[in-house]
Amino acid sequence: MTTPLAQDTVGRTTPVIGPVGNPAAGTLGPRRPQSSRDRDRFVGFAFAAADLLIETDALGNILFSAGARCRLTKGEVGGLVGTNLMEVVAPGDRKYVHVLFERIREKARIKPSRVLFQACDGQQFPALLGGCRLDSCPGSLFLTVLLTVPPRTGSAGPAMQGELLDQTGFAGILEERLLAARERGADQGLTLLLVEGLQAMVEAMPEGAAAEVRDGIDAYLRGISTDGDSAGQLGGDRYGIVHAADIDGREVQCHIAQIIEAAGGALPGGIRSWTLDMADDRLDPADAARALVYTVQAFAAAQGGEFTISSLEDGANRLMAGAVERIGQLRATIDNRDFIVVFQPIVDIATGAVHHLEALTRVDGASSPADFITFAEDVGLIYDFDLLLTRTVLDTLKEFRKEPKLPDVAINLSAKTLMSPIFLKQFQSVVAPYGDLAAKLLIEVTETVVVTDIAKLNGVLQKLREVGFRICLDDVGAGSTSFQSLYGIQADYAKIDGKFVRGAADNPRDMAMLRSMVDVCRQLGLKLIGEQVEETVHAELLTNLGVSLAQGFLFSRPSRDFAYFAKDWSRVRSGGRILLKG
């Protein structure tokens, strides 16, 4: 019997192995040899995992291609044979793909990594490129291409073509990778890399050589990173990489040194790395990710000798250990409600009557309330704490709800909390059980300076205003609330930073700034509150500027005694003023 020939997707004739059975006869025919069945089985597995199968030589010349019709060629994918793979890779990713080829030759196999391809119409699109080599086929690389790339699930967006992630993007991908590694049991590591003097060296090199160094380092770090998109430049000479556990710091240092040497560079400093096993289970996955992100951010922001060639490992280990301990303590504080709430009144300067209270937190063992809140913001636990504070204040209001003059209370919510995509739903679930008592809350927004999308924050705040919550912007004029925030957010109140209130009494420049802030806020329809009013002269100054509300030690120190403020002041107030020094 003659064996028929079939056309494969490359356009070449391939023998169909084994006799062909007669379907009409109701038989499958003789079984094919086991070797043929094994071959077909592996081909089936390959196509189940990828859209394209490509074989290239060591230079990237395509020897074989099979699979679905795609945008890389106008005709059948077999038309790719005889071309070079780099012709269909986006120019900015070609050096990176060369690194992936080197990784295949070194490691025998790489997991799929994100690569930007260039379609025959010039459009670029992402795909996953994986590959391996076989000892039985020397000189060949066997590649898989998955054309449908899963969307990013974390907060980090993809870097531009050929670029590393920035610090924010890397922090997002780091958290995503750690959570995924814990969930799937994957073995991954984090390496922080310090190339001391790199920025100065590159700036002194000819442009061509400088580009070789920059592009070479970027391509190499992307090439060793998980999925090809888990490397970031955290500063001029600082990098972070999430990678497979079989990569160690010495290997990374050696490759970076080779790239610099090949471009004719002479590094004035040295190269140092710190690698951490991300499987450390001292914290739950979410808090472990927070500790890692905090360490990376501190590494990126460190100045001078804080992280040097000799101290990188010690410094990073110390930071990581400290972050793990502090996050554990912070988590315990939240879980056990191990904090107290104190209240300080905002008063009408003319009458001394309580306008509303501000709820402030105190935590035993914390160096200061500000440090506690700042650390909670830095490690991403401020969201949990803010919602717990909201519930705690509402519980207090509920306890005293029968008081005829129950005061309104301002709660501080971080802009980071407000920007969370699930905040509104979670906040509503917290306040809903308290009914009308929720209307007693004012929302005081802190740290708006960290927000890059003021319009988005304003959208969240307007939804809160629509259901009756009043909004107050904290520390106007200071670093935490910029004039950009002031113009971009519609609010009801604005608190003038206390340093301007205190300074204006003696400093004409501070007085000029204070007048400007008062004028701007008044034009925007905001009611003003002066902070840190400690002396009569401060209160008089605010009154002369038309600011009617104030907060500070002149009127009362913060107190745990909510009952004191919940009294009917129309009957118990003496001389129209309150005074609580304890």
Contacts of 264 (CB under 8 A, 6+ apart): 205, 209
pTM of structure: 0.67
Classified by CATH at the fold level, domain 167-330 comes out as Alpha-Beta Plaits (3.30.70)
Segment among 315-324, 362-371, 486-495, 573-582 with least mean pLDDT? 573-582
Strand-strand pairing, 493-496 and 470-476: parallel
Strand-strand pairing, 271-277 and 188-195: antiparallel
Token output for 44: 């089936």
Contacts of 312 (CB under 8 A, 6+ apart): 192, 194, 272, 273, 274
pLDDT in tens, 375-384: 888 888 888 9
Q: How far apart are the first and last CA of the chain?
A: 105
**pLDDT number for residue 209:** 92
Q: Which CATH superfamily is domain 337-572 in?
A: EAL domain (3.20.20.450)
CA 437 – CA 327 distance, rounded (Å): 33
Calculate mean pLDDT across residues 76-84: 92
> What are the residue ranges spanned by the domains of the chain?
37-146, 167-330, 337-572
Long-range contacts of 207-210 (CB under 8 A, 24+ apart): 209/263, 209/264, 209/265, 210/263
**pLDDT number for residue 241:** 92
Query: Closest Cα partner for 320 from 345, 350, 283, 352?
Result: 283
pLDDT in tens, 46-73: 667 788 999 999 999 999 998 877 888 8
Percent share of the chain, pLDDT over 70: 82
CA 453 – CA 484 distance, rounded (Å): 11
Burial of 365: CB neighbours in 10 Å, binned 0-12, 13-18, 19+: exposed
Query: Closest Cα partner for 100 from 227, 250, 232?
Result: 227
Q: Which amino acid is at 533?
A: V
Please spell the DSSP secondary structure of 246-260, one letter per residue: T--HHHHHHHHHHHH
**pLDDT number for residue 571:** 40
Classified by CATH at the fold level, domain 37-146 comes out as Beta-Lactamase (3.30.450)
- Between 3 and 320, the higher pLDDT residue: 320
Query: Closest Cα partner for 554 from 262, 373, 347?
Result: 347
Segment among 9-18, 94-103, 271-280, 551-560 with least mean pLDDT? 9-18
